[in-house]
Structure 1
Amino acid sequence: MPDSLVTLGWREWVVLPGLGIPRLRAKVDSGARSSSLHTDAQWRFTEAGAPWVGFRLTHGKARGLVVEAQAPVHDERDVIDSGGRRERRVFLRTPLRLAGCEREIEINLTNRGAMLFPMLLGRTAIAGLFTIDPASSFLHGRPPRPPSSADTAA
């Protein structure tokens, strides 16, 4: 455990490099046990005999950024949402980069299209490394925009 905890605001920019997501707004929520990631669509398949999930995420200004990713299924279990509804969700494990720190976290996939933030960062992802200042937002800035193919064309 680090000597001191890194302070987060109630909302922060995160990077999910293992899923090819270079930056995403997340609501930091110590009241939620698990972390959730918005998906527009999900599909299941088998890779080398193991269950995998593919998904599409649309986010950004006017939902203009589309990312498709895939990952092995870590688990599948029921989650009770903030409205009290029980839903069976797929869980994956993937690296999270936030505030100069990187750690592997567990994320469940669900449709958060009606929510303001495409990701909810729950307490199991922040435990032991981060603390929250509920009066602050985006304390660690916005990760740089990844270069587009137009930027790198010769």
Structure 2
Amino acid sequence: MNRLASLMLPLLLIFAAPVTFAAAASTKAPQVFGWIEEGLVQPENIAVKIKLDTGALTSSMDAKDLQPFHKNGEKWVRFNVELKDSNTGKVVSAPFERRVERTVKVRGAGGAERRPVVLMNICIGKQIYSEQFSLKNRGKMNYPVLIGRRTLEHLGMVDVSKTFTLEPHCAKSLAAR
């Protein structure tokens, strides 16, 4: 390095630092969620406990009585979402029909299986997210809804030491993300 460059380098670092700090200070801090949150399945506003699962790529939802069918030449699925409403404690059953966006192969301790993936709306905090959910009878699982990394990248950070950091408050009329 020549003598002029060695003298200029410290000056560049000094003058560049405030710009970097100013840019960092002007960015909004990301939302931090707990590993368990409450959400609302839309449009029915069913309150449900959801697990923010950084180990899952695709979100998953408890669905019963899956019946594939064709509509307008496309694959669709009819299913029931039976969830224990976390506000009332009552089991709520809601029928849905959704177009199959894709299928995923899920590997677990019991082997591999293919699941349909559909778009569903869920309210987390004050935002409604239209996200892809794989459908599976999760009746024996602790959490009927898992939020995977594809959705988490839109939410913010997950602090595994926290739970229930915010309540869902979404108006049905809010546009999906």
**1:15 and 2:40 matched:** yes
Contact 1:9 1:137 in 2 (8 A): yes
| Larger RCO, structures 1/2 (Cα 8 Å, 6+ apart) | 1
For the residue of structure 2 that corresponds to 1:125, the secondary structure is helix
Greater helix fraction, Structure 1 or Structure 2: 2
| AA in 2 matched with 1:80 | R
Partner of 1:36: 60
Contact 2:104 2:134 in 1 (8 A): no
Flag the structure with larger Rg.
2
| AA in 2 matched with 1:89 | R
Counterparts of 1:111-150 in structure 2, within 5 Å, are 111-141=137-167
Q: Alignment partner for residue 106 of structure 1, among 132, 138, 162?
A: 132
CA shift digits 1:4-53 (9 cap, x unpaired) = 321111111122325x3532211111111111101121111222221111
Instruction: State the identity as a percent.
Output: 23
| AA in 2 matched with 1:32 | A
**1:58 and 2:61 matched:** no
| TM-score of the superposed pair, with normalisation by structure 2 | 0.71
Unaligned runs of 5+ in 1: 147-154
Partner of 2:99: 72
| AA in 2 matched with 1:113 | G
Count how many residue pairs are aligned between Structure 1 and Structure 2.
Answer: 142
CA shift digits 1:115-142 (9 cap, x unpaired) = 1111111111111431111111111125
Moved more, 62-71 or 35-44: 62-71
